Structure 1
Amino acid sequence: MNKTSKQYFPALTGLRAVAAALVLAHHFNPLNPERVGWRMHSLVAEMHVGVTVFFVLSGFLIGYRYLGQERVPLRTYFANRFARIYPMYFLLTAATFLIIHQADPASNLGDFKTYLLNITFLRGLFEEFLYTGIKQGWSLTVEEMFYVSAPLAFWLIRRNARWLGALPLGLVLLGVGLVLACRGQAWHGFFGSFDFLFQFTYLGRAVEFFVGVALAWWLRRPGPHAAPRFLTYAGLAGCALCLTGLSLLHGPAIGAFGVMQPAGMLLNNVLLPLLGIGPLLWGLVRETTWLSRLLSSPPLLLLGKSSYVFYLLHMGVLQHLIHNALQKMC
């Protein structure tokens, strides 16, 4: 059986664990700049690139599963997406708002409007509500918008491969148009700035998903699939170069992330997927290397399968409760 005829790639499950670990390091940077210097601190600070890994990986896995079908079975497709993402998110979001309301009944984080925007994933479209509820959950709005639009995208791509480039470009242009139309309006930060567009929305980050989709389309083509050698290592090198570039753009202050600059957005949203993550995924599904064996090992597979729940729990109200409970136990 050709490797790319498989539906499941264990190394990519292990890669999820690595991506989650990168996000954890970004949120809880253990390197104090006064001790190790700004260069090392900023390198870890830019490990938010784990989110970019998740986005490219989502595009590849969904694309690989459904691009080989003449039409996407919509009922099954949306049922699978719902079952995978929503139940756990709903339960943890409800618990978060209940805890916030009990701690401070007057807090606007506990009002029904904010709660409704969170459980419908709409909060990720409004800068004012971006970090409400489960703070890191903003990325699920991006994911869900890709999931909703993917069946139409796949239908277009199967008919003409030029849509692989036209769709992400069109989505970015749509986002730019929304910012030009909406910035300055009192709509709770709905597409209120270009920074918000390119850091936190599907329209601004569509390239990441479509790099994964394009790789899936390439591997799903009929006929031989010739590939360059050492793709895994080329991808690792590309990831390292882009991460280094982001760290060099990091300002001399905590929180002055390189990705907040236009050059950093280009690095994170376009060059990292194209030069780093895309080749890395290609290598992991085509080559047998020490890295693919490591990522396919039972501990990494277990962590990878748990990465979604870990991602939801690793920061925020629930994380503090778990941390306090463990401290009392010790």
Structure 2
Amino acid sequence: MRSLNLPYNPRIDQLRWLAATIVFLYHFYVEYCGAGGAAFDSVWAGIITEGHTGVGLFFTLSGFLFMQIALAHGQLEYRDFVRNRTLRIVPLFFTIFLLATSIGRDKFQGQDIFYLLATNLGSSPTSVSVVTGAAWCISLEFLFYLVFPFLSRFAIEQGPRYLLKLLVLMMFFKLVSYNENEHSTIMYFSTFVGRFDQFIIGMLAAMLYQQRQVLLRRLSLWLAPLALMLACANSALQAHLAPFNVQPKSIFWISWSMQESLVWACMIVAWVSFPRLLPAWLECMLCHGGKISFSFYLLHMAVIHFMFRAVGPLHISGQPLFDTLLFGVMLYAATWALGTLSYHVVEEPFLNMRRRYGAARNA
């Protein structure tokens, strides 16, 4: 998706595609196991079994992208920044929220409308059904957008040390929260305490990239595969020590979000610095995947859950692995097509209403 406020970098869209695809594989795996499929035994499948890590990539990438914009423009025009973010997120997010309240109409209460601001907390209508469950992180992301113009201004004025101080404060919040919540794993996974540091680390990565672009480009040919290997190893470590939805409390989760985000920050700066073009067809496909990634992300669980209930795991060839892969490809293609439709119908008309912001808008 092209920004009006920064030269287009296809690597950003490709990373969006990667994040959405990892989350898709994770939820496909969860549904597959729920339908009686065999779970992976090896922790080295952690990039799939702990594929919620794709959300961490989304948060880190957001901080990186918007800090790049802030560094290019200087002080941002707050009103126009929030207007653009609203046009980007709210139309599709509100559509999914309406779907959620329709599904749960029999239990809906008037005050539930306020969950638009906090889909990550309590008994949000979007979290009642698997179909709309992916929306939990959107209101949290929008909260980060609301404070970003201030954070970027302070970071530009004071340098990276301002953001490092924020990370120290966030670590304190993590430590004191651990024993105060019986289900601290979910708390770290889905709240400000567990996710704000990922946005900040993304901002720091953008400042590092600005200062070391030449060096990063020179090293990117080996940094990019190394960073991807590191991301896989980190997911394997989590699968071994503290898998999600298994342990309601684990000390590992205190440092988990920072650890996860640092790995993805390495991946981001390495891939954004990567100078070589991929084959033209692959560049086009991955960039399209990034463009529709918001729709793909919010709709993928509906496709997966519906198809598993309607069709169930395929039994065509008699080879379970082949049938599972075939079913996964079919659901991925269906989600891709639906995401493309949603992008053009719901997202794109509002995206065309965005404005430039920052100092460069009058240049």
User: For this structure pair, what is the TM-score category when the shorter chain's length is used for normalisation?
Assistant: 0.7 to 0.9
Question: 61, 66, 69: which is aligned to 2:65?
Answer: 61
**Secondary structure, in 3 states, of the residue corresponding to 2:51?**
coil
Q: Report the CA distance between 1:266 and its aligned residue.
A: 2.5
1:260–1:14 CA distance, 2 compared to 1 (3 A): farther
1:280–1:42 CA distance, 2 compared to 1 (3 A): closer
Contact preservation (8 Å) 2:187, 2:193:
yes
Q: Report the CA distance between 1:196 and its aligned residue.
A: 3.8
1:322–1:93 CA distance, 2 compared to 1 (3 A): farther
Q: Distance in 1 between matches of 2:77 and 2:186?
A: 34
Q: Distance in 1 between matches of 2:227 and 2:280?
A: 16
Q: Distance in 2 between matches of 1:169 and 1:54?
A: 22
Question: 97, 102, 116: which is aligned to 2:101?
Answer: 97
Matching of residue 87 in structure 1 with residue 91 in structure 2: yes
**Secondary structure, in 3 states, of the residue corresponding to 2:140?**
helix
Contact preservation (8 Å) 1:156, 1:163:
yes
- 2:334 — aligned with what? none
- 2:18 — aligned with what? 18
Matching of residue 136 in structure 1 with residue 139 in structure 2: no
1:296–1:113 CA distance, 2 compared to 1 (3 A): farther
- 2:356 — aligned with what? none
1:91–1:237 CA distance, 2 compared to 1 (3 A): same
- 1:78 — aligned with what? 82
- Write the letter of the residue equivalent to 1:81: R
1:176–1:99 CA distance, 2 compared to 1 (3 A): same
Question: 32, 39, 46: which is aligned to 2:42?
Answer: 39
Contact preservation (8 Å) 2:118, 2:140:
no
- Write the letter of the residue equivalent to 2:114: L
Gaps of at least 5 residues in structure 2 are 313-363
Q: Report the CA distance between 1:235 and its aligned residue.
A: 0.9
Which sits farther off after the overlay, 59-68 or 228-237? 228-237
Q: Report the CA distance between 1:80 and its aligned residue.
A: 0.7
Q: Distance in 2 between matches of 1:232 and 1:19?
A: 15
Contact preservation (8 Å) 2:185, 2:253:
no
1:67–1:176 CA distance, 2 compared to 1 (3 A): farther
Contact preservation (8 Å) 2:93, 2:138:
no
Contact preservation (8 Å) 1:7, 1:65:
no
Q: Report the CA distance between 1:145 and its aligned residue.
A: 1.7
Q: Distance in 2 between matches of 1:28 and 1:69?
A: 41
- Describe the superposition over 1:36-81 as per-residue Cα deviations: whole angstroms up to 9, x where unpaired: 6422696222011110110111010011011333311111100110
- 2:344 — aligned with what? none
Q: Distance in 2 between matches of 1:199 and 1:295?
A: 36
- Describe the superposition over 1:228-282 as per-residue Cα deviations: whole angstroms up to 9, x where unpaired: 622212211210110111121256xx9427x963325534x122322x2112111
- 1:308 — aligned with what? 294
Q: Distance in 2 between matches of 1:321 and 1:236?
A: 32
Q: Distance in 1 between matches of 2:155 and 2:281?
A: 31
Displacement over 4 Å in runs of 4+ = 30-37, 174-180, 292-296, 318-327
Q: Distance in 2 between matches of 1:9 and 1:311?
A: 21
- 2:165 — aligned with what? 166
1:293–1:127 CA distance, 2 compared to 1 (3 A): farther
- 2:272 — aligned with what? 285
Question: Under a length normalisation based on structure 1, what TM-score does the superposition of the two structures give?
Answer: 0.77
Q: Distance in 2 between matches of 1:263 and 1:112?
A: 39
Contact preservation (8 Å) 1:26, 1:45:
yes
Q: Distance in 1 between matches of 2:259 and 2:196?
A: 13
- 1:186 — aligned with what? none
Question: Under a length normalisation based on structure 2, what TM-score does the superposition of the two structures give?
Answer: 0.70
- Write the letter of the residue equivalent to 1:95: L
Contact preservation (8 Å) 1:127, 1:192:
no
Matching of residue 270 in structure 1 with residue 258 in structure 2: yes
CA RMSD of aligned residues (A): 3.4
- Write the letter of the residue equivalent to 2:265: G
- 1:248 — aligned with what? 240
Contact preservation (8 Å) 1:14, 1:296:
no
**Secondary structure, in 3 states, of the residue corresponding to 1:151?**
helix
- Write the letter of the residue equivalent to 1:207: D
Q: Distance in 1 between matches of 2:119 and 2:192?
A: 13
1:172–1:145 CA distance, 2 compared to 1 (3 A): farther
Matching of residue 117 in structure 1 with residue 114 in structure 2: yes
How many residue pairs are counted as aligned between the two chains? 297
Contact preservation (8 Å) 2:43, 2:236:
no
Q: Distance in 2 between matches of 1:85 and 1:224?
A: 30
Contact preservation (8 Å) 2:43, 2:237:
no
Q: Distance in 2 between matches of 1:202 and 1:295?
A: 39
**Secondary structure, in 3 states, of the residue corresponding to 2:72?**
coil
Contact preservation (8 Å) 1:16, 1:54:
yes
